[in-house]
Amino acid sequence: MDSIVYLVPAFGIVGLLYTAWKFSWVSKQDAGNDTMKELSGYIADGAIAFLKAEWKILAYFAIPTAILLAWLGNQEGPGFHSSPLIAVAFLIGAIFSATAGYIGMIVATKANVRTAEAARTSLAKALSVSFTGGSVMGMGVAGLAILGLGGLFITFYQIFAQGQALTSNEMKTAIEVLAGFSLGAESIALFARVGGGIYTKAADVGADLVGKVEAGIPEDDVRNPATIADNVGDNVGDVAGMGADLFGSYVATILATMVLGQEIEVSDNYGGFSPVLLPMLIAGVGLLASLVSTFFVRIKNETDSVQNALNTGNYLSIVITFITSYFLVKNILPESLVLRGFSFTAMDVFYSIIVGLVVGTLMSIITEYYTAMGKRPVDSIVQKSGTGHATNIIGGLAVGMESTVLPILVLAAGIYFSYFFAGIYGVSIAAAGMMATTAMQLAIDAFGPIADNAGGIAEMSQLPAEVRERTDNLDAVGNTTAATGKGFAIASAALTSLALFAAFVGISGITQIDIYKADVLAGLFVGGMIPFIFSALCISAVGKAAMEMVNEVRRQFREIPGIMEYKAKPEYEKCVAISTEASIRQMMLPGAIALSVPVIVGFIMGPEVLGGLLAGVTVSGVLMGIFQSNAGGAWDNAKKSFEKGVLIDGVTFKKGSEPHKAAVTGDTVGDPFKDTSGPSMNILIKLMSIVSLVIAPYIAKTDGKVSHVEKAPIVMKVVAKK
């Protein structure tokens, strides 16, 4: 174990070296003419301004939280295995998560203008630049996650458990302190995703409603005051937000598997550590598989399919991970393992990994079907646009609700079969297998907003029509890849949350969660409600910020003469400021709910009721996440279908027609669905699970009684009962 464990941070370093290499390559590409550079500069400045404002607020949250964790880590009691160093792990997780988003933001704001310039040459060149920018994001996130987790595991092992057995109390301390890294990552991810989502959709709605619908100009027209804020939003929401999101998922999945692996008593060549090492090593080989696969994402001709090129890279990374996982499992795990009375073999673990890879692949395929142009679901919304705005909304809602069926059946089958093979460890290792190709998944996802920004810059710079044609091609595929990325994220969150839930049950000392008990059933219902109020707050925040944006855009059109004639420049910075201030202000309450509810319920009502709450929020959150993300993606591509013309009842309709206006309304409704509240669901369920895992030792049942840190929570419980 002392030698093989060092492979883990080494994998992370390889990923970061690739990141630096490709970042340098993107930076050296031609950034176009002065107008393009100026517009790109506005976008980059707005993005960095948002990040600085967000980090300032998050510092006010992170420092007190670290102090509280340090205090909790210093408490003594039965079953307590923590240390004040958990606060250090928390801060490192928060910093690494923020850094992952920053890397993506910087490269995206460099790659967007260079993609637009590359589109002057060919579609192949434009794809090369945009996807390389995305791969910098993907490898940066995966590299930081593996380096941080592997490095901290080695550090805490040497501090607390050098030479100790895997099942020792010292080793429990090392693993529980490591949980602080995941908590830090998920906390920052929530605020980044919610804040970024509010920012991007406030700008997008303002640009759409006033620019496209009222003024009749393109969304990305240089005359539209909200267009820069809209392009900034693509980066802060879909790049920085998604990067922090999948960084958190990546870390939480590996950590949950390590916690469960610690309970397995085995005889192997690694001092019994093989079940703990395996998830970290799978993540490492998955990173290498993704790295190799990036070189196969290419096209040669203008007529080649961009979607097929991306799929080639994705499927190749999955196949390589599948093959390497087999050799890892066979050479690391012993033949027989037992966890909580469930016996399984090394090959059973490999079969569970296959289940995870299959679930991830199927989720991407299903999401693509429900959100891609030319498929039945999107076409059905297009047809309903022919009879007005209301029928478009009805059609989009129906598609979103229908789109939950197959993903849930796939998830249910994945949970069943992975448990059938290797028990709860199988479910957890299936999630680790699915997340192994995170670097490739994120590269494909980050490609989308880069392509979208490139199209915006091409439009604002008034580049030739063939340039915009190429960027539109990339953007249409990017809409689908963004939707499939969200589907992948919510699927991984479901399996990760189940693994975290199993780890919570073990540490909190409960053997079952009996929903026949009134308080547990109440917790289940409250948990089911939380994703709804969380979504309501997010969507309401977008609405409030969008109203401010709409009023500002209208004011500029009214008070600045010459904008429509290209004689005056809009005040872009004022729209950027509105989105920044509104998103920072409105993200606090949803974040507070996710962080505080598990603590309040756990300390007042105990671990079993908290378990019921987690079950409710997981089921409800997964359904809400799939529904909102797919409905929004379908509405978006229904709108984009009109750009090339659609046939409704034998008549062709294009942009500017009444059916197109109905589609714009649907897309406006779907925007906060797919980019704010929907993607936030997976962070919500993971964050509540990881918070519960961290507090589990302090609310654990010992000899049938609940153990708390102080008497105050017990008094609160008595008062609550009275």
Look at residue 152 and tell me whether its pLDDT is greater than 90. Answer: yes
pLDDT-based confidence at 712, cuts 50/70/90?
A: very low
Instruction: Among 101-115, 414-428, 473-487, name the one with the lowest average pLDDT.
Output: 473-487
Look at residue 186 and tell me whether its pLDDT is greater than 90. Answer: no
What confidence tens digit (pLDDT) does each residue in 361-373 have? Answer: 898 889 889 988 8
pLDDT-based confidence at 287, cuts 50/70/90?
A: very high
Q: Could you tell me the CA-to-CA distances from 396 to 111, 392, 665, 667 in Å, in that order?
A: 32, 6, 11, 9
**Percentage, residues of the chain above pLDDT 90:** 29
**In 3D, which of 585, 595, 575, 576 has the Cα closest to residue 537?**
585
**pLDDT in the model for residue 619:** 92
**In 3D, which of 367, 679, 366 has the Cα closest to residue 531?**
679
Look at residue 694 and tell me whether its pLDDT is greater than 80. Answer: yes
Residue 589's Cβ-count burial label (10 Å; 0-12, 13-18, 19+) is middle
**pLDDT in the model for residue 219:** 66
Pairwise pLDDT comparison (75 vs 278), residue with the higher score: 278
Runs of H (alpha helix) within 119-168: 123-160
What confidence tens digit (pLDDT) does each residue in 314-345 have? Answer: 899 999 999 999 999 998 998 888 888 889 99
**In 3D, which of 83, 104, 93 has the Cα closest to residue 156?**
83
Contacts of 712 (CB under 8 A, 6+ apart): none
Mean pLDDT, rounded, for 14-39: 90
pLDDT-based confidence at 283, cuts 50/70/90?
A: very high
**Torsions phi, psi of 27, nearest 5?**
-60, -30
Paired tokens of 722: 């009275």
Mean pLDDT, rounded, for 187-216: 76
What does the alpha-carbon distance between residue 103 and residue 140 come to, in Å, rounded to a whole number? 7
pLDDT-based confidence at 151, cuts 50/70/90?
A: very high
Q: Could you tell me the CA-to-CA distances from 412 to 293, 407, 416, 595 in Å, in that order?
A: 29, 8, 6, 27
pLDDT-based confidence at 719, cuts 50/70/90?
A: very low
**In 3D, which of 339, 279, 395 has the Cα closest to residue 634?**
395
User: Helix or strand or coil: residue 474?
Assistant: helix
Residue holding tokens 């540490």?
Answer: 507
What confidence tens digit (pLDDT) does each residue in 493-527 have? Answer: 888 888 888 888 878 888 778 888 999 999 999 99
Residue holding tokens 């494909």?
Answer: 444
Mean pLDDT, rounded, for 172-194: 84
What does the alpha-carbon distance between residue 500 and residue 516 come to, in Å, rounded to a whole number? 23
What does the alpha-carbon distance between residue 638 and residue 211 come to, in Å, rounded to a whole number? 19
Q: How many CB atoms lie within 10 A of CB 77?
A: 12
**pLDDT in the model for residue 105:** 84
Look at residue 708 and tell me whether its pLDDT is greater than 60. Answer: no
Look at residue 122 and tell me whether its pLDDT is greater than 80. Answer: yes
Look at residue 232 and tell me whether its pLDDT is greater than 70. Answer: yes
What confidence tens digit (pLDDT) does each residue in 537-571 have? Answer: 888 888 888 888 888 888 888 888 888 887 888 88
Mean pLDDT, rounded, for 48-61: 82
**pLDDT in the model for residue 1:** 61
Residue 343 pairs with which residues in a beta bridge?
Answer: 338
User: Helix or strand or coil: residue 651?
Assistant: strand
Q: Could you tell me the CA-to-CA distances from 550 to 198, 210, 224, 649, 671 in Å, in that order?
A: 15, 6, 11, 34, 15
Look at residue 187 and tell me whether its pLDDT is greater than 80. Answer: yes
Q: What is the pTM of this model?
A: 0.84
CB-CB contact of 153 with 281 (8 Å) = no
Runs of H (alpha helix) within 304-462: 306-332, 346-371, 376-385, 389-402, 405-435, 438-460
pLDDT-based confidence at 701, cuts 50/70/90?
A: low
What confidence tens digit (pLDDT) does each residue in 397-452 have? Answer: 999 999 999 999 999 999 999 999 998 899 989 988 888 888 998 898 888 888 88
What does the alpha-carbon distance between residue 370 and residue 678 come to, in Å, rounded to a whole number? 15
**pLDDT in the model for residue 367:** 87
Return the C-alpha torsion angle 544, 550, 555, 556, nearest 10: 130
Look at residue 218 and tell me whether its pLDDT is greater than 80. Answer: no
**In 3D, which of 633, 599, 295 has the Cα closest to residue 489?**
633
What confidence tens digit (pLDDT) does each residue in 242-272 have? Answer: 788 788 888 888 888 888 888 887 888 888 8
The sign of the dihedral angle between the CA atoms of 286, 290, 293, 299 is: positive
**pLDDT in the model for residue 92:** 93
